[in-house]
């Protein structure tokens, strides 16, 4: 399952006036985009995320700065360091994730296939591990 996490190289239009990248729904992401949100002003040492989603898929693009995304599938863990505004990390549903090691002034944009729904979150890691084990 952790293998389905994918670093997606977004289009990059090189220009001496400044570069441009973009995301098209169902083209550069494998889902219809229903929501965009962004994370910013993260104090040094803070950790965001720390949950899994039942249905939500997302693409994380670090527009400025850098951070690490740690993905956990109930067994193994993998870390992606994001620091390029033309790369997006695609995370399918059902994976535990947290974000750490934010550089000062990091801005992360997230596009997802769902509108916000608290019921879609699994926020208890032990519960997540149990759900994964029960599904086997």
Stretch that binds ligand TYD, among 8-16, 35-43, 56-64, 72-80 (CB under 6 A): 35-43
Q: What is the DSSP letter of 19?
A: -
Question: Which one of 12, 30, 49, 101 is in contact with ligand TYD (CB under 6 A)?
Answer: 49
Is residue 37 close enough to count as binding ligand TYD by CB under 6 A?
Answer: yes
- Could you give the CA distance from residue 2 to residue 12 in angstroms, rounded to a whole number? 27
Find, among 109, 131, 136, 135, the residue nearest to 53 by Cα.
131
When binding is defined by CB under 6 A, the residue of 39, 60, 62, 91 that contacts ligand TYD is 39
Q: Does 84 bind ligand TYD (CB under 6 A)?
A: no
Q: Exactly one of 34, 116, 117, 124 binds ligand TYD (CB under 6 A); which one?
A: 116
> Is residue 45 helix, strand or coil?
coil
**DSSP symbol at 54:** S
Q: From CA 33, how far away is CA 31, in angstroms rounded?
A: 6
Binding stretches for ligand TYD (CB under 6 A): 35, 37, 39, 48-49, 116
């Amino acid at each position: 399952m952790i293998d389905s996490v994918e670093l997606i190289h977004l289009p990059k239009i090189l220009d001496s006036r400044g570069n441009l990248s973009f995301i098209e729904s169902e083209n550069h992401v494998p889902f219809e985009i229903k929501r965009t949100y962004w994370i910013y002003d993260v104090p040094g040492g803070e950790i965001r995320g720390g949950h899994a989603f039942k249905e939500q898929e997302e693409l994380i693009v670090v527009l400025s700065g850098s951070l690490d995304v740690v993905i956990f599938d109930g067994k193994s863990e993998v870390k992606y360091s994001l620091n390029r505004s033309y790369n997006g990390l695609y995370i399918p549903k059902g994976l535990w994730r947290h974000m750490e090691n934010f550089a000062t002034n990091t801005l992360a944009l997230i596009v997802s296939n769902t509108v916000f729904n608290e019921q879609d979150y699994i926020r208890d890691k032990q519960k997540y591990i149990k759900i994964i084990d029960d599904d086997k």
